[in-house]
């Protein structure tokens, strides 16, 4: 037993403790719970009773010495680390200026659209992107055999087709009318999903902004004046607006919204297919059946609604010819909008 104590004492004194790895190995080998000192204390019971006290004192001294060596080495190592000022960095190098990012063009246009409508009393309403059949189709007067209800047009999340990714932000209009009483005046910007092939003119994920105004005595004239104001504020006071008769399940009467081509100023070019006009969205008076399905009496209230793609508006405003640029995150493209406020 005494020989073992002497051997361990020599090893403790000879141990190299110049770095953190050696220090940790020393702790594990000698003063850890499973180290050699712990083993020596366990073997103390095998020593003869008359020698046990003396051997025990030697063991305690050895334990204290091992702990002392460990503490001293640990302190020296900490001090040497703190005093080492060589970080490997040259502080004489010139500073690198902070570089600011920029808003995405879609975010820029969305913000501008929101500001325009806020000035005439519209607030912003939002709703879920995962929707049920009622809020996305049924409440909006879509017949059961409408093509939009097919898998070729819509991403369904369940086999019974009751859960889907919304195909428009009209679901927010339905929820707004369900939970609030007129007057209602809101726009609904947001991301929508349709099962379409990705190309320069189409994408499976894109953004819409829709608008809804419901009150007593709302007429088609109110719709036209609202959209005249919007188009001139967004595209310029020289912009012309026209309405073409159309059909949507949720509005009656309905109309497509066209503006004069921003490229040729109405003269005719490849962008507008020589017509001088570019379509930006659809609109119409809210169908009485939609008001009734949302709990609003169509005999008392009327309203108008409109919708347009934010990508389409952004492409027109900044003359972008490929819709895929919005989702490719090409820094060369995005940096072109650094100066836009």
Binding site residues for Mg(2+), as ranges?
A: 252
Q: DSSP characters for 204-220?
A: SEEEEEEEEEEETT--H
Q: Give the residue numbers of the binding site.
A: 252
Q: What angle do CA 307, 309, 315 make, to 5 degrees?
A: 140
* C-alpha–C-alpha distance, residues 167 and 314, integer Å: 20
Angle between the 2-14 and 49-83 helix axes, to the nearest 10 degrees?
Answer: 10
Coil, strand or helix: which one is 78?
helix
Q: Are residues 164 and 157 in contact, defined by beta-carbon separation less than 8 angstroms?
A: yes
DSSP state for residue 181 in the 8-state scheme: P
Structure tokens belonging to residue 103 = 């808003």
CB 206, CB 191: distance < 8 Å: yes
Q: Would you tell me how many other CB atoms lie within 10 Å of the CB of residue 247?
A: 12
Question: Which of left, alpha, beta for 161 (phi over 0: left; psi -120 to 50: alpha)?
Answer: left
Instruction: List the one residue out of 75, 70, 69, 43 whose CA is nearest residue 56.
Output: 43
Closest alpha carbon to 141 in 285, 309, 301, 308? 285
Q: Tell which residue, 236, 227, 293, has the closest CA to residue 255.
A: 227
The whole-angstrom separation of Cα 290 and Cα 250 is 6
Strand pairing class (205-215; 241-248): unpaired
CA–CA gap between residue 246 and residue 248 (Å, rounded): 7
């Amino acid at each position: 037993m005494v020989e073992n104590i002497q051997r361990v004492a020599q090893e403790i004194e000879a141990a190299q403790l110049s770095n953190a790895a050696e220090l940790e190995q020393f702790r594990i080998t000698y003063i850890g719970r499973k180290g050699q000192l712990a083993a020596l204390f366990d073997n103390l019971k095998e020593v003869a009773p008359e020698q046990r006290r003396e051997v025990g004192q030697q063991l305690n001294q050895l334990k204290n010495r091992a702990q002392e060596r460990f503490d001293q080495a640990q302190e020296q190592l900490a001090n040497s680390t703190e005093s080492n000022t060589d970080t490997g960095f040259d502080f004489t190098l010139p500073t690198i200026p902070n570089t600011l990012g920029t808003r995405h063009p879609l975010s820029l246009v969305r913000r501008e659209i929101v500001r325009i409508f806020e000035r005439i009393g519209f607030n912003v309403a939002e709703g879920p992107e995962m929707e049920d059949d009622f809020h996305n189709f049924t409440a909006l007067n879509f017949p059961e055999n409408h093509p939009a209800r097919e898998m070729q047009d819509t991403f369904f999340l369940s086999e019974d087709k009751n859960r889907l990714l919304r195909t428009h932000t009209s679901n927010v209009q339905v929820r707004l009318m369900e939970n609030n009483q007129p007057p209602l005046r809101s726009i609904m910007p947001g991301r929508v999903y349709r099962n379409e092939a990705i190309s320069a003119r189409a994408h499976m994920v894109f953004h819409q902004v829709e608008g809804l105004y419901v009150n007593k005595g709302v007429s088609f004239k109110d719709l036209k004046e609202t959209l005249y104001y919007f188009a001139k504020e967004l595209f310029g006071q020289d912009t012309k607006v026209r309405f073409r008769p159309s059909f949507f399940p949720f509005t009656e009467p309905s109309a497509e919204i066209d503006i004069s081509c921003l490229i040729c100023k109405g003269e005719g070019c490849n962008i507008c297919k020589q017509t001088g006009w570019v379509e930006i969205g659809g609109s119409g008076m809210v169908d009485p059946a939609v008001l009734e399905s949302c709990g609003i009496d169509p005999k008392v209230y009327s309203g108008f609604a409109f919708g347009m793609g934010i990508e389409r508006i952004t492409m027109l405003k900044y003359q972008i010819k490929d819709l895929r640029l919005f989702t490719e995150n090409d820094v060369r493209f995005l940096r072109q909008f650094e100066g836009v406020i």
